[in-house]
Structure 1
Amino acid sequence: MIRGQAIQLRTVRETDLDRLYPLLTNIATRGDFVPLRIPSEPVFKRQFQETGFWTEDEGRMLIVTPEDDIVGSIWYFKPIHYFDGFEIGYTTFDPQQRGRGIMTEALSLFADYLFQSRNIHRVQLIIAEGNIASEKVAQKCGFTYEGTSRQAMFRSGHYLEMKWYSLLRDEVDACLPHRLFSS
């Protein structure tokens, strides 16, 4: 478990599955920029049984309150096999929790954890154009804008531009507002 000031990050437990699946698949509360694809419940549970949603190349943690209420999820995956790093995705399940700094703290702690636990040089975010809140989170966590991929994601009947942000290993000390360990 990774403890922050307002939230904690922890791996998914089998007892979370019946609460987590409806949260991940509720299109109404996912936000306007989360891809609409959802797994079937049997596939979702089988993936958990096979990996616990945690391997060397991909993993998911829950963002929980100190009382262990699930408020979001954050995950990493290998975007391109020859990249020396991971892409991070995240979502807040309850729209009432958005805009309160939860995701800034979660992303900061998670990125720091990945750099401390893996021999990688970069983490990246790919954010749909128009997702101002997510761009603010990236900027608060010290990620640098790298460019835009044109019409890279299809959602809600049209293509979206996707903005690339990255954080390099040698930028962590100066950039991340929340750290696992103080320097």
Structure 2
Amino acid sequence: MLTHVGTDRIETERLILRKFEYTDDENMLKYWISDPKIQSLYGEPVYSMKKEVKELLDKYISSYQKSDYYRWGIILKETDECIGQIACFSVDNNNNFAEIEYCIGSLFQRKGLATEATKAVIKYGFDKMNLHKVQISHKSINIPSRKVIEKCGFVYEGTLRDFFYQDGKYIDRLYYSILKDEFNYL
């Protein structure tokens, strides 16, 4: 049975995953939320002003009062900077699964940081939330995200063809999942 525990702090070798704070606004703008490439691959709008980011942070921070809300800022321990975000969403109470989404600034990609954060959230989902299954998806054009997903041990489930319409063309959405007894805790 699924247990809602909310967004607790998670620590990994190089990262701290924690609730967003208003002081994260500058790093968010600097590293990812104002980057059209990152935001389009992630499927979110581009934010270019502090006021917009504050409104988004209002939404995130007020949602932390709900025990079924799971969204973390990805904090690089070395610099104490917020370099991205990761969340469990579409949490299904009846079937004990959730979906993960993440984004990380381009300066921090291809360093294993997204994989490290994703594995930590998968473990959190299985150990703390008592999930049976975690699922994840990516746009077919987002090859780096596919590599993160494969490194985490997800199993390909299928493609939703022409799911997104972006820049005048259709893009597929690929789905993957991992079951609790398949997850490698090493």
TM-score (normalizing by structure 1): 0.80
Match of 1:10 among 11, 18, 30: 18
| Separation (CA, whole Å) in 2 of partners of 1:151 and 1:115 | 32
| Contact 1:27 1:36 (8 Å CA) reproduced | no
Q: CA offset at residue 41 of structure 1?
A: 4.2
The DSSP-based 3-state class of the residue aligned with 2:41 is coil
| Deviation sequence 1:112-170 (CA, Å, 0-9, x none) | 01111113211111111132211111111110000100111222232210110101111
| Deviation sequence 1:66-89 (CA, Å, 0-9, x none) | 131112111110166755311111
Supply the AA of the counterpart residue of 1:27.
D
User: How large is the Cα RMSD of the aligned pairs?
Assistant: 2.5
Supply the AA of the counterpart residue of 1:90.
Y
Partner of 2:82: 70
| Separation (CA, whole Å) in 1 of partners of 2:46 and 2:40 | 15
| Contact 1:59 1:77 (8 Å CA) reproduced | yes
Moved more, 21-30 or 3-12: 21-30
Question: Which runs of structure 2 are paired with 1:1-183 in the superposition (5 Å)?
Answer: 1-20=9-28, 23=31, 25-28=33-36, 30=38, 33-38=41-46, 40-41=52-53, 43-52=55-64, 55-66=66-77, 67-78=79-90, 83-93=95-105, 95-172=106-183, 175-177=184-186
Percentage of identical aligned residues: 27
| Separation (CA, whole Å) in 1 of partners of 2:92 and 2:168 | 26
The DSSP-based 3-state class of the residue aligned with 1:25 is coil
The DSSP-based 3-state class of the residue aligned with 2:111 is coil
Moved more, 12-21 or 116-125: 12-21
The DSSP-based 3-state class of the residue aligned with 1:130 is coil
| Separation (CA, whole Å) in 2 of partners of 1:96 and 1:19 | 12
Supply the AA of the counterpart residue of 1:128.
K
Aligned residue pair count: 173
Q: CA offset at residue 55 of structure 1?
A: 3.5
| Separation (CA, whole Å) in 2 of partners of 1:57 and 1:158 | 36
| Separation (CA, whole Å) in 2 of partners of 1:102 and 1:41 | 23
Partner of 1:180: none
Distance 1:38 1:79, change over 3 A: farther
| Separation (CA, whole Å) in 2 of partners of 1:176 and 1:132 | 25
Structure 1 unaligned spans of 5+: 178-183
Supply the AA of the counterpart residue of 1:102.
L
| Separation (CA, whole Å) in 1 of partners of 2:121 and 2:35 | 25
| Separation (CA, whole Å) in 2 of partners of 1:127 and 1:115 | 21
